[in-house]
């Protein structure tokens, strides 16, 4: 019997995502000046206020207030009527030195012997239902909001948009887990005040359906475009007025959108957030590594869908174990346990191995902090940083290395796939 599955996304102006972006901007600045920095920083945002807290071990000093304000400005909180504005909000820092007890469990004389920065389990997932090997509902939810943000910045066809927004997509699947159609789309976007609430609701609904959705469809292959039918149920700003939003409407905290950050409810999640953590924290680095594994296995033709779990003990370099679930979609003559054994032989899953393979000691994290950490475009970019003493630095970094299909040939060889 056909079934429905739903995923959501939130925009860069959502309060929790504002917090994530500030935390990851701090990570990038620490790593830009000292690649060996150990950082775990949290951010809270609310009306007119940013609060920074966490632990750091680094050879550099940052002007954290300036960095936080730059992030808020880039997102688009630049007007006093938002009640949260880059130049006027307060910024309080309670960042202090990392615990020596934690540090002694991670650092080693030889970097290759580096222990995991925490215990826990991490999951990676991939599916063949989209070109980027992501679940379709989440991929569409992200695309809706990235296009909405582009429209806001263009300020041409839609002029009333404010930074905060959410989306949700419900897809009907067949018995054999193939997408049949889009059942419902929800979009809630913050906006400027209107003279008439009824006129406001009609204007926003018409613009979302007539301007935004066609821009999203244009990015898709024809077979996915066909999922958009006249029968879609649209819920556009279903509560009505949405003028008060962002950190003034809701308090935001780092790490509260972990399902948006990963697979939209597909697969599994180990519970650890990503933003604000340097790559010694396996909550982050091992989640990227398992996504890298899952994507390369599906791309190599091992299976159509896969979940990969890895687990660690704090201070121990080798993982406790690797688990695999191919959901019965395996195309090779190996069971899931045997696939897990081959993964262990192909991929170095020590913290140092992950950091070096995926180039995680570079300032690559600000780009991950909105619209998902997975399924993104792998590309090389130049990024500029200004130190607290005014010194400037430009570095070339490779983003989203865990999205590369650079192990497909090795996987094919291991599984004897021609």
CA torsion sign, 362 to 257 to 100 to 95?
A: positive
Q: Using CA atoms, how far apart are residues 246 and 279, in angstroms rounded to an integer?
A: 29
- Read off the DSSP letter of residue 210: I
Q: Is 206 annotated as a binding residue?
A: no
Q: Is 250 annotated as a binding residue?
A: yes
Q: Is 166 annotated as a binding residue?
A: yes
Q: Is 217 annotated as a binding residue?
A: no
DSSP letters, 20-67, are HHHHHHHHHHHHHH-TT-EEEEEEEEETTEEEEEEEEE-S----HHHH
Q: CA 188 → CA 191, 201, 213, 241, distances in Å?
A: 10, 11, 14, 10
Q: Which are the contacts of 156, defined by CB distance < 8 A and separation ≥ 6?
A: none
Residue 351 contacts residue 117 (beta carbons within 8 Å): yes
Q: Is 119 annotated as a binding residue?
A: no
Q: Is 55 annotated as a binding residue?
A: yes
User: Whose CA is closest to 349, among 325, 329, 321, 327?
Assistant: 321
- Read off the DSSP letter of residue 85: -
Q: Using CA atoms, how far apart are residues 403 and 332, in angstroms rounded to an integer?
A: 23
Q: Is 98 annotated as a binding residue?
A: yes
Which residue bears the tokens 């599994």?
268
Q: Is 17 annotated as a binding residue?
A: no
Q: Is 242 annotated as a binding residue?
A: yes
- Read off the DSSP letter of residue 12: T
DSSP letters, 224-263, are HHTT--TTPEEEESTTS---S-HHHHS-EETTS-HHHHTT
Q: Is 281 annotated as a binding residue?
A: yes
**Among the residues of 265-399, which ranges form H helices?**
282-300, 336-346, 351-357
Largest CA distance in the chain: 67
3-class DSSP state for residue 272? coil
Q: Is 16 annotated as a binding residue?
A: yes
Q: Is 221 annotated as a binding residue?
A: no
Which residues line the annotated binding site for Mg(2+)? 16
Which residues line the annotated binding site for ATP? 14, 164-166, 241-242, 250, 256-257, 273, 277
Which residues line the annotated binding site? 14, 16, 42, 55, 98, 164-166, 241-242, 250, 256-257, 273, 277, 281
Which residues line the annotated binding site for K(+)? 42
Which residues line the annotated binding site for L-methionine? 55, 98, 250, 281
């Amino acid at each position: 019997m056909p079934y429905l599955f739903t995923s959501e996304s939130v925009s860069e102006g959502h309060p929790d995502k504002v917090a994530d972006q500030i935390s990851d901007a701090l990570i990038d600045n620490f790593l830009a000046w000292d690649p060996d920095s150990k950082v775990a920083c949290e951010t809270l945002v609310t009306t007119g206020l940013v609060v920074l807290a966490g632990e750091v071990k680094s050879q550099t000093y940052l002007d954290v207030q300036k960095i936080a304000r730059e992030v808020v400005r880039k997102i688009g909180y630049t007007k006093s009527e938002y009640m949260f504005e880059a130049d006027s909000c307060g910024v309080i820092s309670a960042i202090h030195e990392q615990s020596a007890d934690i540090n002694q469990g991670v650092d080693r004389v030889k970097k290759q012997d580096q222990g995991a920065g925490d215990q826990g389990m991490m999951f990676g997932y991939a599916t063949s239902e989209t070109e980027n090997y992501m679940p379709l509902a989440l991929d569409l939810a992200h695309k809706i909001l990235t296009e909405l943000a582009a429209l806001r910045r263009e300020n041409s066809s839609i002029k009333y948009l404010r930074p905060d927004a959410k989306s949700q997509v419900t897809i009907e699947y067949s018995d054999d887990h193939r997408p049949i159609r889009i059942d419902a789309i929800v979009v809630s976007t913050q906006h400027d005040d209107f003279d008439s609430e009824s006129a406001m609701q009609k204007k926003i609904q018409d613009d979302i359906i007539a301007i935004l959705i066609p821009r999203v469809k244009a990015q898709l292959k024809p077979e996915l475009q066909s999922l958009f039918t006249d029968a879609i149920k649209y819920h556009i700003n279903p509560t009505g007025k949405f003028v008060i939003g962002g950190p003034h409407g809701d308090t935001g905290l780092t790490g509260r959108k972990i399902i948006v950050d990963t697979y939209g409810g597909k697969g599994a999640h180990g519970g650890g957030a990503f933003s604000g953590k340097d790559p010694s924290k396996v909550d982050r680095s091992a989640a990227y590594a398992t996504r890298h594994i899952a994507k390369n296995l599906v791309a190599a033709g091992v299976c159509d869908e896969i979940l990969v779990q890895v687990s660690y003990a704090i201070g121990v370099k080798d993982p406790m174990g690797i688990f695999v679930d191919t959901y019965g979609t395996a195309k090779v003559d190996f069971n899931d346990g045997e696939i897990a054994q081959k993964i262990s032989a192909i991929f170095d899953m020590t913290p140092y191995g992950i950091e070096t393979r995926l180039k995680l000691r570079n300032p690559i994290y600000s780009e991950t902090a909105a619209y998902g950490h997975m399924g993104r475009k792998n590309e090389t970019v130049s990024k500029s940083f200004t130190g607290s003493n005014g010194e400037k630095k430009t570095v070339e970094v490779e983003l989203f290395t865990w999205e590369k299909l650079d192990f497909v040939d090795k996987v094919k060889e291991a599984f004897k796939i021609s």
